Amino acid sequence: MEAEENFAGTSQGARLSVVATPIGNLEDLSPRAKAVLASADCIACEDTRTSGNLLRRFGIARPLLAYHDHNEQASAAGIADRIAAGAHIALVCDAGTPTLSDPGFRVVRECRRRGLAVETIPGPCALIAALSASGLPTNAFAFYGFLAPKTAARRRFLEELRDEKMTLALYESCHRIRAFAEEIHEILGPQRVVCFARELTKLHETVLTGTIADILPQMTGKNLKGEFVVLIAPADFEL
Ligand code: SAM
């Protein structure tokens, strides 16, 4: 049993390590993540400045390689080439888990296609943190990432999902959060249960769970800054 529990911690050699980093609270960087980042030949990141700042806080100095959406295809091949040649590369994003509404999917797919070793160093993820603190059902959920910014597309999305049986999870910008709450109220009805999870793991963490009729007034007239995860409970769910 002990050997099994330790198995992942003993990975060595050429591989891609997909590493989750904090979504706010730096204490959430796991010891295993620190060890992997400190020992990687190179850290592939979205933004070398953001990841450089994080790594400096932990005294980690490794070469950084910029990796973002617009060069993801080319970088994926380059990263896989380096792993095939024997390198250990850690993949991080600005915050949270790579590939979840963040770059990284193509490099993981490329490594898998080539049969290269890929390991996960799991940790913070806004989606999972919100679900776990929400009180909404988590047995079946659908994650939609960021919704289209256009009002018509967002309204259509809600209309199509009116009778949904799963919990719906979305990332939303603070600029649209109040308008989105009003749309939920209007299209899904005042009794729909929702959760607005804001600034998770940070100083102003706020998780509001209730019917949209109860939550909406709490969002009106406030300066709603920060990062949000929005969860919408199944149509028949009651608190
Ligand atoms: N890959 C990240 C993850 O694992 O959570 C998500 C990255 S996505 C580009 C950024 C969005 O995630 C934000 O706009 C917000 O919707 C959500 N998010 C990130 N950090 C958050 C936090 N601390 N609290 C609430 N939502 C957060």
CATH number for the region 2-121 comes to 3.40.1010.10
CA 141 – CA 205 distance, rounded (Å): 23
2-121 against 126-232: fold identical? no
CA 207 – CA 200 distance, rounded (Å): 8
Q: Which two tokens stand for residue 218?
A: 């709490």
0.85 exceeded by the pTM?
A: yes
Count CB-CB contacts under 10 A for residue 43.
Answer: 25
Distance 197 CA to ligand 1 centre (A): 10
End-to-end distance of the chain based on CA atoms, in angstroms?
A: 40
CA 116 – CA 114 distance, rounded (Å): 6
- Residue 236 half-sphere exposure, CB side, CA atoms within 13 Å? 2
Distance 13 CA to ligand 1 centre (A): 31
Distance 51 CA to ligand 1 centre (A): 15
**Quick one: which atom of ligand 1 is closest to the CA of 97?**
4
**Quick one: which atom of ligand 1 is closest to the CA of 93?**
1
* Residue-level pLDDT, tens digit, the chain, 239 residues: 444 555 555 578 999 999 999 999 999 999 999 999 999 999 999 999 999 999 999 999 999 999 876 777 778 999 999 999 999 999 999 999 999 999 999 999 999 999 999 999 999 999 999 999 999 999 999 999 999 889 899 999 999 999 999 999 999 988 899 999 999 999 999 999 999 999 999 999 999 999 999 999 998 766 788 999 999 999 999 99
Count CB-CB contacts under 10 A for residue 79.
Answer: 25
CA 169 – CA 232 distance, rounded (Å): 7
Nearest CA, atom 8, ligand 1:
101
Nearest CA, atom 2, ligand 1:
96
Give the residue extent of every domain in the chain: 2-121, 126-232
pLDDT score at 72 = 75
Q: What CATH architecture is 126-232?
A: 2-Layer Sandwich (3.30)
Location of structure tokens 């898998």: 112
List, in sequence order, every beta strand (DSSP E) within 11-161.
15-19, 42-45, 64-66, 88-91, 118-121, 141-146
Ligand 1: residues with CB < 6 A are 23-24, 93, 95-97, 100-102, 125-127, 171-172, 197-202, 227-229
- Residue 63 half-sphere exposure, CB side, CA atoms within 13 Å? 6
pLDDT score at 7 = 52
Distance 69 CA to ligand 1 centre (A): 17
Nearest CA, atom 16, ligand 1:
171
Mutate which of 101, 143, 173, 230 for ligand 1? The one with the most ligand atoms within 8 Å of its CB, which is: 101
- Residue 216 half-sphere exposure, CB side, CA atoms within 13 Å? 16
